[in-house]
Amino acid sequence: MKKKKIEDSEIRKIRNSNFSTKRVTVKKLENILYKPHKALDHGFVRVIDYMGDDSSIVQAARVSYGKGTKKLNQDKSLINYLLSHRHTTPFEMNEIKFHIKLPIFVARQWIRHRTANVNEYSARYSILDNEFYIPKLENVKPQSTLNNQGRGGGMNKEEGKSYIKTLKDHSKKSYDIYNFLLNIDEDGNINDTEKSGLARELARMTLPINSYTQWYWKIDLHNLMHFLALRFDVHAQYEIRIYAKIMLEIVKKWVPLTFDAFIKNRVESLTISSEAVRFLKAKINKKNTKKFSISKRELDNLKKIFDL
């Protein structure tokens, strides 16, 4: 608790500071710098720093300086064109740095995106907090019968409660063992002066992957949009989607023109196979569609989107 108060005090000092700059700034993003956006039960996302805005993307595409006589709708059209035609390098000119607190099992999914600069909280150097992710009852579900890597369907309420209790009990017991190995109490004070305690890098082995970790995560806008397109998708795990949703709202504040083009051309658009194109053509022309070998998942998506 003492550590958290010190961190909050340091953040308040930074937020109350004023720095003069000649670089591009975004007022809506400046207003939320260092502000934590709550995620799950103990997690958060906060913006630490950023570079560029919508005009920076346009500037990079045109390799020019200044706004000249061009109009806002010209910038909007250009950004939409760049995104829809997958001209990615202008979006790589913008960068953003987040401070993120997340469960370790979510971090293990997240780190698969190898296009960011990451610096994670070290449990070899510091002692981890007594914080564990415990899902809400409505998110406790059985293994999906359709998706081998996800959850789905309903669960008996009492059964769900028993699983949550097991998760809580296990988390508490794990942290008690962690403190025992370190020879400290919950406040970080030494229990027995006659014992040295186990090294932090070894004591951490007892902690489960619903423990919380933290990191700084810096990424360019192009790769951030790729991350969001995958992790905001309905097929992504619920827990990481919560973080993606928060970050999507931050992108909306940061680069609204790009956000609009991203939603239209990536989030709400559809990429289909050449076989699916032939299937749709046959469907439109009222021809036989049974000869097309489309995967069940793609076919289900087509039926849902086009109300077939």
- What is 236-304 written as a DSSP string? S-HHHHHHHHHHHHHHHHH-HHHHHHHIIIIIS-----HHHHHHHHHHHTT---TT----HHHHHHHHH
* Interatomic CA distance for residues 5 and 3, integer angstroms: 5
Q: With pLDDT > 70 as the criterion, what percentage of the chain qualifies? A: 94
Q: Cite the beta strand spans of the chain per DSSP E.
A: 37-39, 43-51, 95-103, 117-120, 212-220
pLDDT, position 4: 65
Answer yes or no: is pLDDT of 261 > 70: yes
Q: Which amino acid is at 131?
A: E
Residue 190: which pLDDT band, with cuts at 50, 70 and 90?
A: confident
Domain boundaries, the chain: 2-133+210-267, 137-209, 274-306
Q: In degrees rounded to 5, what are phi and psi of residue 145? A: -85, -15
Answer yes or no: is pLDDT of 173 > 60: yes
pLDDT, position 254: 98
Terminal Cα-to-Cα distance of the chain (whole angstroms): 56
**Sheet holding 43-51: strands in order across?**
37-39, 43-51, 95-103, 212-220, 117-120
Catalytic residue among 231, 266, 278, 297: 231
Residue 36: which pLDDT band, with cuts at 50, 70 and 90?
A: very high
Residue 15's Cβ-side half-sphere holds a number of Cα atoms within 13 Å equal to 15
pLDDT, position 115: 94
Answer yes or no: is pLDDT of 179 > 60: yes
pLDDT, position 66: 57
pLDDT tens digits, one per residue of 113-137: 999 999 999 999 999 999 999 999 9
Domain spanning 2-133+210-267: which CATH class is it, in words? alpha beta
Answer yes or no: is pLDDT of 67 > 70: no
Report pTM. 0.89
Collapsing DSSP to helix, strand or coil, 126 comes out as: coil
Known catalytic residue at 86? no
Angle at 105 between CA 187 and CA 163, to 5 degrees: 80
Which of 4-13, 165-174, 209-218, 266-275 is least confident?
4-13
Residue 65: which pLDDT band, with cuts at 50, 70 and 90?
A: low
Adjacent-strand bridge partners of 49: 97
Answer yes or no: is pLDDT of 290 > 90: no
